[in-house]
Structure 1
């Protein structure tokens, strides 16, 4: 059910034991453990050798070394398990859950392919686990128990650590400009935000005319082209481009993106026009849901669109701005560094939709 129709799964008639077993199997069958092959041993060593009073700070540091995807899944899982332990009638303590789940999360006791049959035969000849296995199992169980109990604190970065950090990401911190500041970027050409937006649209059309040279293609889902390129401004975020064919003319697709997102994006929670600047330009605010327990993302953008390009082509350009009349509606303020939609006609009643974006969700 989860694999064939993940959007429509109901667990109402399922045994809680079967669902719990499926969760265990999912993490056990991953190609590498959730805590990663590189860091799995580090987490075990923390709970084997680091004094108890220093374990929280050490685990916080280890979690910072994880990739975003693994860290966010770990956070979601730990918050969920913490919720499970808070329900009195199921009698599952953090320790009980850790005993069940730790081997699957750390991939303990899974026979590694690289182990030779002779080595495995020798290891298990007497039918008893060796001291190393026992020590790792205990550390994994105690570690997961600690992480479930302290899940609220694990994903915080200590202020003194932030203060000491000096890296390209901090130096290239994304700052959303005001309309006036956007205009100043174009001082040589008259200096207002309209000229800035016009130049972005012209560059997009030029790139399309040159068939987007210099982008690196990636594998993606069926019927979708995905590629990226690096931007040399110190910020590590890449610029991404996705293209797909849509069974509708460009003007309909543009309206679908511009005014009807709530009909097709279930994560689209709130939206409002803060200020209308002209018939095709506005300050727009919206909130996207982010998988709990991660906070929602709040976007405040300047956007403009054009439908009068040759051959029926439509363009929508969006960039984050500051505006005094738009406090946070929810969650964390995200920064749209670049977002450009190019919608080209391709055959009878069809469109080729290309979205270029570089967005900082953190």
Structure 2
């Protein structure tokens, strides 16, 4: 939400008196991943001070700036230098996320609606090589919503997660489960509500306002479609999608939480083809541009035994005694079974 400054004071004042709705399942029960992390690179271009979306196509990295007059998609090289700026084929209202589709195209999520006044929102397709693209207008079934997150799984059915100030986010997809290829251009195409998603609260530091750990600001799906990420200002929550059913995966809740502390306004997330996780933030005030971070081995947390998971892999660290107890019980059962086998 690049335009967060318009509502930050109101939100902060309100959040001081209204309790944040807890997650459907207490977030404290979600294991926390301790992944090796570092800086991928830091954009120096002043136009990239506010990044609201990241997307990876093969070995190419794309970003979308937020709340500026220049709404072009930007391709970056390995040092975060600008390779090219690609104009969107239509004039957007408020692009808040960016996704890579299974069709090899970029999809800009023109979903921002802080005042909840838009009759339609939109997805905009973009061929990064030719600049060609189409506009696909979308309508909510139950009135205007503010959203900053689109996820495009392997089946091509886009999923939108809203960003309410209070309570759970709503989850939408095109009515009837239409894929990107089935949408009408320019539309409008009706959406249907398929669930809710509540994340947090957590104690991770960062974010522009109180309650930042519960506000959904971005999402991504891994290149192979088996892991989805939904982030807040302060944390990234991972959802395994082994059967390709993203809606069911979101309904089941996150399996792992990855803190990304001290991002001033973290809104962007993407997976690399190697399964690493990238995150990016808008800067705070006159500070320097924040770096694009990389967290290694995110999808490997869900790798079957023998497929990338080793004793030295990043540990998924439970944060409650119940989970630790479960691990101990499983280990004890394993010892007993081995002893019985030897006999």
TM-score with structure 1 length normalisation?
A: 0.20
Bigger Rg over Cα: 1
Q: Greater strand share, 1 or 2? A: 2
Q: Greater helix share, 1 or 2? A: 1
TM-score with structure 2 length normalisation?
A: 0.20
Greater relative contact order structure (CA < 8 Å, 6+ sep): 2
